[in-house]
Amino acid sequence: MRYLDLAVSIFTKWSNEQIKTINTLPQSGSNRIYLRTESENKSAICAISKDDRENKAFVTLTKNFHKKDLRVPALYEEDLTNFVYLVEDLGDLNLCDFYNDVNVSPENKISVYKKIIGNLIELQLKGLEDLDSSVFYPREAFDHQSIMWDLNYFKYYFLKLSKVHFYEQDLEDDFNSFAEYLTNTDCNYFLFRDFQSRNIMLVNKEPYFIDYQGGRKGALQYDIASLLFDANVNLSEYRKDLLKYYIIQLKSKMNLDENEFVEYFYGYSLIRLLQMLGAFSFRGKIERKPHFEEAIPQALENLELILSKFEKAKSFPTLYKVLNRIISN
């Protein structure tokens, strides 16, 4: 069955109305197909992907999150045998477009970010409850193996494609040491994995989170690092205050060693940024999607700031040297 037929079938089953329009939404970094399906009175987003394990993860997480009133779209219908599901249409305004709109005041932008941070903490603290971790995809946790995948993604698709010189074994040794360091903190929370401005939709200034099918167990620092060092928005003016706000909100819910948290925050900011550089280079140079390469300069600016804050980076000398070489170029 072709994807348009799948969309018509699942939408009609849910709505009991004749479909009026189908519009394919722009693809981003994945191969999933998204279609906005509409009848006279109803609208929904149809998602189609041949990755059955990823589909199962998204559907399972969505059902679980809704029971906890977390900020995700409603799941209307599913047909995982045919690799398709139907979710709530949250409109077209994402956080990236909202933040970069010159007509929006700084006060409104920060107010929305604070709402998002509050909702993120709820997701991180409640997201693992009543979940069988075997559904997480592609791994049950953001562990040593996951970190090595990201570091090698950075190595092969950014360093090598950019012709940056390094000694392979020395860099590999540092990768292993860095991964061991990162997993030495508390990693027993829900990790969204791709918590960035294009995956946060705004409906009447209320945030909703999408594309969390890669979620798994991990450290708290990763997602807030993803949000505050997002290469699609420049948060340099507000990042320090927003991190402080996150920590204050978190401390109201749990005991927290603030100094240790901040150190690991910059460590997770670094691994997140290296993963992004690999992704931006791969999507831009290999898949010929130029808008990904356009985000690299902001990412490199963020890299320079992270290295200035993350003293522990000097403990990984080859990696540290390579990163400084990237910045100086």
- pLDDT in the model for residue 88: 98
- pLDDT in the model for residue 63: 97
Indicate whether 45 and 117 sit together in one domain. no
Enumerate residue ranges in the chain where pLDDT < 50: none
Indicate whether 292 and 152 sit together in one domain. yes
Domain count, the chain: 2
- pLDDT in the model for residue 289: 86
* CB contact at 8 A, 180 and 303: no
- pLDDT in the model for residue 27: 75
Residue 234's CATH number: 3.90.1200.10
pLDDT in tens, 136-169: 999 999 999 999 999 999 999 999 999 999 999 9
Q: Would you call 284 helix, strand, or coil by DSSP?
A: helix
Indicate whether 64 and 122 sit together in one domain. no
Count CA atoms within 13 Å of residue 178 on its CB side.
Answer: 31
Six-digit token string for 124: 């991180």
Indicate whether 317 and 168 sit together in one domain. yes
Indicate whether 126 and 61 sit together in one domain. no
Domain span at residue 293 reads: 95-328
Residue 10's CATH number: 3.30.200.20
Q: Would you call 145 helix, strand, or coil by DSSP?
A: helix
What pTM was computed for the model? 0.96
* CB contact at 8 A, 35 and 77: no
Indicate whether 109 and 84 sit together in one domain. no
- pLDDT in the model for residue 18: 94
Six-digit token string for 189: 């929370």
Indicate whether 131 and 67 sit together in one domain. no
Indicate whether 145 and 268 sit together in one domain. yes
Domain end position, chosen among 34, 68, 88: 88
- pLDDT in the model for residue 304: 97
Element (H, E) at 153: helix 144-154
- pLDDT in the model for residue 29: 63
Indicate whether 192 and 265 sit together in one domain. yes
pLDDT in tens, 222-233: 999 999 999 999
